[in-house]
With several copies, the nearest count.
Chain A
Amino acid sequence: MEKTSPKLTELFDRDTAVERLRQMTLLRRFEEKSAELYSATKIRGFLHLYVGQEAVATGIIPYLNPDDGVVATYREHCHALLKGVSAASIMAEMYGKQEGCSRGRGGSMHLFDAASRFYGGWAIVGGGMPLAAGLALADKMQHTGRINCVFFGEGAMAEGEFHEAMNLASLWQLPVLFVCENNLYAMGTRLDLSEAQTDLSQKAASYNVASRAVDGMDLLQVTEAARQAISHVRSGQGPYFLECRTYRFRAHSMFDAELYREKAEVEQWKQRDPLLSYGQLLQKLGCLDDAALEQLEADVAHEVDEAVRYAEAGSWEAVEDLSRFVYSET
């Protein structure tokens, strides 16, 4: 993993720097609200939170073009938000309302949005990777210039589908960026209990895929690496594997008793909260004062509240429509 961070001023102008803080704040507050609503049984099924990992998606997705594709997992609220899916339609989806981005049929784990080219929201670990490579093949064959970015956890790398997708993407030089969010655990299974080789860049090398590992708690490192990785992929040099070392602060899902890790370990990682540390950096650099920060929080709170209002006001799909969308309506 890289040791030093690039300078903020080399990466961002002031507005962009503040915008990143706003984005990470939105992700955090949106998910905190979701957890609350889960407890209130407004949201059901499984709910997997991204809290602690925000710097990863925030460092990458803004550097994709609007028509690039993103494929994610069941832990994807934040990826969807960053790709342009509205907070309101995500919240409505989690309520199961037909105003949701998947019409209430997908729920938290299956967010989809054609307009922003957000391709899910997949809950079979590893299953999204071949799909992302396939989108990339379509882009390559159609010379669209688009690239695709797929997010997955380090646990997914033990699946055969990772192996097959990486090899095919490299063999065919497909424009796909593989982002491993290495948060050290797959449910309760620590990396060293899941991978015989914990240096994940060696895996990328075994497919002849260029790679880099960065501190996923550091927005600046992620940003700099993402820009390089994206330009590698977009310039036709084939796939790229970006490992972001991060940590999830909360349980795997709302059902997890967290028996497998020490509270102290969690606390230690929380010291490196990307939202706090990035916010402090901005203040230190004078990019925003207390008032501006307050305003930012208020704006975000308003957006989240509006999302909840929208979800609450949404409607239930008619039961008569149950058998729609099994096959296309022609």
Chain B
Amino acid sequence: MADDNDKRTLSYREAAGEGLREALNRDERVFLMGEDVGRYGGCFAVSKGLLAEFGPERIRDTPLSESGFVGIGIGAAVGGMRPIVEIMTVNFSLLALDQIVNHAATLLHMSGGQFNVPVVIRMSTGAGNQLAAQHSHRLEGWYAHIPGIKILAPATLEDVHGMLQPALEDPDPVLIFEHSVLYNLQQEVPAEFSAVDISTARIHRVGSDVTLITYGASLYKCLDAAATLTEQGIEAEVIDLRVLRPLDETTFLNSVRKTRRALIVDEGWRSGSLSAEISARIMEQAFYDLDAPVERLCSAEVPMPYAQHMEQAALPQPEAIVAMIKRMVAGGDGVDHE
């Protein structure tokens, strides 16, 4: 709060921008490249002001050429720079997938360890702003299928600020997915952010009755649901995965072994979502510790509709989390599956 000298209130957008500014100041090899990162002020205003501060060489507006400039980022990384490539949204990243999956993810291996690719690729992700089917993908969990790249999903201001630095220090390609509904989120943060890692999941709330596993903007829905549940005598442990590849399975397995129940909340489409992988790993490694089957709450398997009531109906909601958990804790086979 403003009256506390060590604290301040910031938006997720500002925290991300601060992370960029610090990275640019810290290392001359770092530059930011993407559509409208400079003169326009950034699609989500994250990079606003950086052009004036660092100039057009280091805040580099690109044409609409996703495959081209992502590939150039990869090449520049191999060539000794530390590019931060911004793809405006995950939807457009499908145009650059060949460069990410066929090139960035394979080079180290194909060259027998000779050429690593220290590129960072940031993009926004997520639904919830009525942007319809071509602007609402949540594919970070899908990207997590690809070996050779690392996938981060910062849900907090601390993470969206702090994950950038370790990502830049990482010798391999790192993709950072910022959820677009979070940009306006305000949180109280310390005057100086502290460092974070890009290898572990984080327990946001300790609980004993059920484990809620999630990532990205759904974290807040899970925390909401946990607050409701506590009033009803159910204590949920809430885990923010933070890193989608490689998964920190120790954290969620330990939690599930303790609570004996788990619900995974994943904004991705259900079939083949990251939630399936987590469920499968719990199956394989904690089956005998379970009191009930692991359940999943995901997005409806539809291209995202524009109308608000339909979009909200397609997304996981706190009420549904609460209802599912109450059924799970009540026991029996009561959860419906479509």
Contacts and interface: CB of A to CB of B under 8 A. Distances in A.
Interface string A39-53: 000001110000000
A13 to B, nearest CB: 34
11 contacts: A105-B110, A105-B132, A106-B133, A110-B111, A114-B114, A124-B102, A130-B71, A130-B99, A164-B67, A165-B68, A167-B68
B302 A103 contact: no
B99 A127 contact: yes
B305 interface: yes
A76 to B, nearest CB: 13
A131 B106 CA distance: 13
Contacts of B73: 134
A121 B114 CA distance: 13
A100 B112 contact: yes
A128 to B, nearest CB: 8
A100 B313 CA distance: 19
Contact of B76 (A101, A135, A187, A325): A135
Contact of B79 (A103, A121, A126, A134): A134
Contacts of A184: none
Interface stretch (A18-26, A154-162, A227-235, A268-276): A154-162
B185 interface: no
Interface stretch (B34-42, B212-220, B274-282): B34-42
B36 A189 contact: yes
Contact of A106 (B69, B78, B110): B110
B171 interface: yes
B71 A96 contact: no
B307 A188 contact: no
A189 B62 CA distance: 8
Interface string A236-267: 00000000000000000000110110000000
A316 interface: yes
Contacts of A105: 109-112, 132-133, 305-307, 310
A113 B61 contact: no
B64 A186 contact: yes
B221 to A, nearest CB: 18
A126 B99 CA distance: 10
Contacts, number: 275
Nearest to B45: A257
Contacts of B64: 125-126, 155-156, 158-159, 186, 194
B81 interface: yes
Given A107-B132, A167-B68, A189 B63 contact: yes
Nearest to B173: A327
A281 interface: no
B131 interface: yes
Given A129-B71, A130-B70, 4 more contacts: A127-B99, A130-B68, A188-B40, A257-B41
B125 interface: no
Interface stretch (B16-24, B90-98, B290-298, B319-327): B90-98
A189 B40 contact: yes
B98 A161 contact: yes
A139 interface: yes
B103 A131 contact: yes
Contacts of A188: 36, 38-41, 61
B308 interface: yes
A322 B305 contact: yes
A195 interface: yes
Contacts of B76: 134-135, 137-138, 141
A317 B310 contact: yes
B314 interface: yes
A123 B113 CA distance: 18
Contacts of B67: 130, 160-161, 164
Interface string B104-133: 000111111111100000000000011111
Cβ-closest 7 pairs across A and B: A134-B75, A130-B71, A188-B40, A138-B79, A103-B112, A164-B68, A107-B306
Contacts of A193: 39, 61, 63
Nearest to A260: B39
B325 to A, nearest CB: 22
A122 B103 contact: yes
B57 interface: yes
Contacts of B134: 109-110, 122-124, 127
A328 B116 CA distance: 7
Contacts of A109: 131-132, 134-135
B240 interface: no
B77 interface: yes
B282 to A, nearest CB: 23
Interface string A143-180: 00000000000011011110111011001000000000
A77 B272 CA distance: 36
B96 to A, nearest CB: 9
A317 B307 contact: yes
